Every structure is written in C-alpha cells, then in structure tokens.
Amino acid sequence: MRLTISDRSSRPITCEAELIATQNRINSILDRRNITQDDRDYLNVLGTLVYDYEQKHEPMPVLKGINLLKALMEEDNISENDLLGIFESELQVSEVLNRERELTASQMQKLAEFFHLSPAGFLE
C-alpha cells in the first residue's frame, strides 16, 4: 500500500527512536523500484528532518590542528611524502604528526594553501 503525502508524518524528530523510524522509512522508500515525484518530495522532507535532528543532537566534532591535518591526509589518501614541499624532511612531518614538534606559522599557511582551507584551522 502506498501512502499519499497527506498520510505521511512530517513532524520534527524528537528522540533517537523517531530518528531510527524515520531512517527506516527513508530506506523503505529508496528500496522501491519506481519512486514517484511524491516519494522524492517526501524523501526531501524526511531528509531535512533527519538533518535538523542530527545538527541539534549529534553535531559533527570540530577538528583543529594536527587532528585536522591527519583527517585531511586520510580523507585525501595523502602520505607524509606528499607533504615534503611543506616540511623540510620526512622526519619533520613525522614529528609534527606525532606531536613532538609544533606547526610553524609558515607551515600552517602552506598547509592551508595545499588543502584550500583557512590557516586558522591548523591552530591547536
């Protein structure tokens, strides 16, 4: 049985159980062979409700400094060797990543240019 838009709930999500139920509803719609325009519109509403709930209750952690650098390296599959234009040696890269040496202002600027970010993101 297909539900019409008027039969579907579009109330804000207030708890984890409602979040799971909404995600299950999204998955059941996506599993259909033919998704109608009404389904697409409803998926948009449900996606917005999930996003709003997660922004309030499960905010993304803010990465700074070395944690940001490590995450960017992992995400972009960048090795320590790929950063040799920023650092003087592999040893220096390793020391920074192991928190044995702090980033210099020049290195932060070069990292910001390399990753297309603000240098402030590399401040601890």
Domain segments of the chain as ranges: 5-57, 65-122
Q: Give residue-wise pLDDT tens across range 68-103.
A: 999 999 999 999 999 999 998 999 999 999 999 999
Q: d(Cα 11, Cα 9) in Å, to the nearest integer?
A: 6
Instruction: Label residue 114 by pLDDT band (50, 70, 90).
Output: very high
> How far is C-alpha 49 from the chain's CA centre?
18
> Which pLDDT belongs to residue 10?
67
Average pLDDT over residues 24-47: 92
Alpha carbon separation from 71 to 10, 27, 63, 77, 120 (Å, rounded): 36, 29, 8, 10, 16
Residue range 65-122, CATH number: 1.10.260
CB distance 87 to 111 below 8 Å:
no
CB distance 122 to 64 below 8 Å:
yes
Query: Does residue 20 or residue 61 have the better pLDDT?
Result: 20
Share of residues in the chain with pLDDT > 70 (%) = 91
Q: What is the DSSP letter of 9?
A: -
Indicate whether 8 pLDDT > 50: no
Instruction: Measure the CA angle with vertex 105, ends 104 and 106; round to 5°.
Output: 90
Indicate whether 4 pLDDT > 60: no
Q: d(Cα 76, Cα 115) in Å, to the nearest integer?
A: 10
Tell me the CB-side half-sphere exposure of residue 16, using CA atoms within 13 A: 1
Indicate whether 6 pLDDT > 60: no
Query: Does residue 55 or residue 101 have the better pLDDT?
Result: 101
> Which pLDDT belongs to residue 108?
95
> Which pLDDT belongs to residue 113?
94
